[in-house]
Amino acid sequence: YFASEIDKYAIEIAKKNYPDTIHIGDVKDVMYPKSFDGHKIDLVIGGSPCQGFSFAGDRLNFDDPRSKLFFEYARLVKECNPKYFLLENVRMKEECQDVISDILGVYPIAINSNLVSAQNRYRLYWTNIPLDGQPEDKEIMLKDILEDYHLIGSEHFHSEKTVAYMERGNDKWMQAGSRRADRYTQTPDKDKSFTLTANIYKGVPYNYFEDTRTNRHRKLTPLECERLQTVPDGYTVGVSNTQRYKMIGNGWTVDVISHIFNKMEA
């Protein structure tokens, strides 16, 4: 398994869990067959950074340097000529979606991670793997993935100052309601969590959880976020919580990918 990654913390966690992975650096420098020691590549998977495509971002699309990495992915699919390929990305403007579809030769399949996890995460998947439907709904709810509150460390609880900040109104936040908290508060009674992003490490407003079991406001823990992405418990242990949050938010929902891969033939 060859991996093109430049984030040193993600590489560290990959090495911890899969020490036989061969890391080949920046995708812009990866060339077939030179970078692969002559090995034939059967499957190419990837997801160029989504910030340039996302409706929540600046929507710079293909003018964004991060989104331009899609073309590096497309180049490698062409060079490697694998049996299968898979590309994941966020919901985007239709014209951008059409560019990707034209280059890869397939239309995307939309899958929401809420079918296999307790997280709402709508994503597009371009693949030539023959799929015949959506994943089975496992009916997992947010309350099902929460840690025992007795085990949650004090570092995960928000201060009174932070809570007061979220409870205040602000003209710039009027689209969210009268309080900052109106748009971002999650509780155990909520069926599904919001979409995890790399910004969850910042705490408020992206990670603001009202734990009604203790009547305190806190962050969802890295372990809870791993569960939202259907990553094995403790998979990201070994780096700081900040880096754990980032890589979990940037990652894929494992059980969605498993559903897709189950349709591959040897």
- Asked whether 208 and 191 are in contact (CB, 8 A), the reply is no
The neighbour count for residue 184, using CB atoms within 10 Å, is: 18
What is the rounded distance in angstroms from the CA atom of residue 74 to the CA atom of residue 80? Answer: 10
Tell me if residue 80 is catalytic. Answer: no
What is the rounded distance in angstroms from the CA atom of residue 29 to the CA atom of residue 136? Answer: 39
Picking from 104, 99, 98, 96, the residue whose alpha carbon sits closest to that of residue 74 is: 104
The neighbour count for residue 224, using CB atoms within 10 Å, is: 20
What is the rounded distance in angstroms from the CA atom of residue 65 to the CA atom of residue 151? Answer: 42
What is the rounded distance in angstroms from the CA atom of residue 172 to the CA atom of residue 122? Answer: 27
What is the rounded distance in angstroms from the CA atom of residue 218 to the CA atom of residue 220? Answer: 7
Distance of CA 189 to the CA centre of its chain: 23
Per the residue annotation, which of 50, 80, 96, 225 is the catalytic one? 50
**Token pair belonging to 81:** 């000529």
DSSP E strands: which ranges in the chain? 2-3, 22-23, 43-46, 84-90, 109-112, 122-127, 209-211, 216-218
What is the rounded distance in angstroms from the CA atom of residue 146 to the CA atom of residue 59? Answer: 34
Catalytically active residues, by annotation: 50
